[in-house]
A and B are shown apart, each in its own frame.
Chain A
Amino acid sequence: GNSVTQMEGPVTLSEEAFLTINCTYTATGYPSLFWYVQYPGEGLQLLLKATKADDKGSNKGFEATYRKETTSFHLEKGSVQVSDSAVYFCALHTNAGKSTFGDGTTLTVKP
């Protein structure tokens, strides 16, 4: 079956540091790849997505590129802020409806 493996946390960074959260996947067919974020006390919400190979998703300064050759979708941000503190989930969605999520990475950004 499909699977998503993401970097274990927690991750603690100082404000303005560079962020990478690794995500790799195994899947049959051609899934779409997503990063969802869960801020403290809130529900899961979309951060960014990419629907085919070599696509780059971006939002709020975060970026991730769908790399089919390395089956990866790593999340990056050049300069994190305290407000980016949250749990980040990598996920793949298929046209068959079934979605697979990683276990989440907790990011804490300190001023």
Chain B
Amino acid sequence: GAGVSQSPRYKVAKRGQDVALRCDPISGHVSLFWYQQALGQGPEFLTYFQNEAQLDKSGLPSDRFFAERPEGSVSTLKIQRTQQEDSAVYLCASSTGGAGSDTQYFGPGTRLTVL
């Protein structure tokens, strides 16, 4: 079956531009996660949804970052007025339920480069 998909796979933005990154989770998965991964580091938690409810957004680095999942399926991570320090790979993951024991299934990521 289809896994988690993300689009675009690569995005180049000029500093100050707004970007929108899309995540299509595995069908039926309740939980959805966004991570930011800098080069040579592990994924850093950004935010977590259970269905359409955003239960934790403590990892969003600033109010320029906004995520939504309005119908409990597809999610969009939006970054306003991009800065060079936003350059990273943005990973989306989904899992069947809301338990910590649930495996997260990762998408291929979107590589954002801010010039």
Contact = CB atoms under 8 A, between A and B. Distances in A.
Most chain A CB within 10 A, of B43, B45, B105, is at: B43
A32 B31 contact: no
Interface stretch (B63-71, B80-88, B95-103): B95-103
* Chain B residues touching A, majority SS: loop
B43 A98 contact: no
A95 interface: yes
A101 interface: yes
A43 B5 CA distance: 11
Contact of A94 (B41, B100, B108): B100
Interface residues of A, number: 26
Nearest to B3: A43
A104 B43 CA distance: 9
Most chain B CB within 10 A, of A32, A42, A43, A89, is at: A43
Interface string A81-100: 00000000101011111111
Interface of B: 31, 33, 35, 40-45, 48, 50, 55-56, 58-59, 91, 93, 98-109
Interface of A: 4, 31-32, 34, 36, 42-46, 49, 51, 89, 91, 93-104
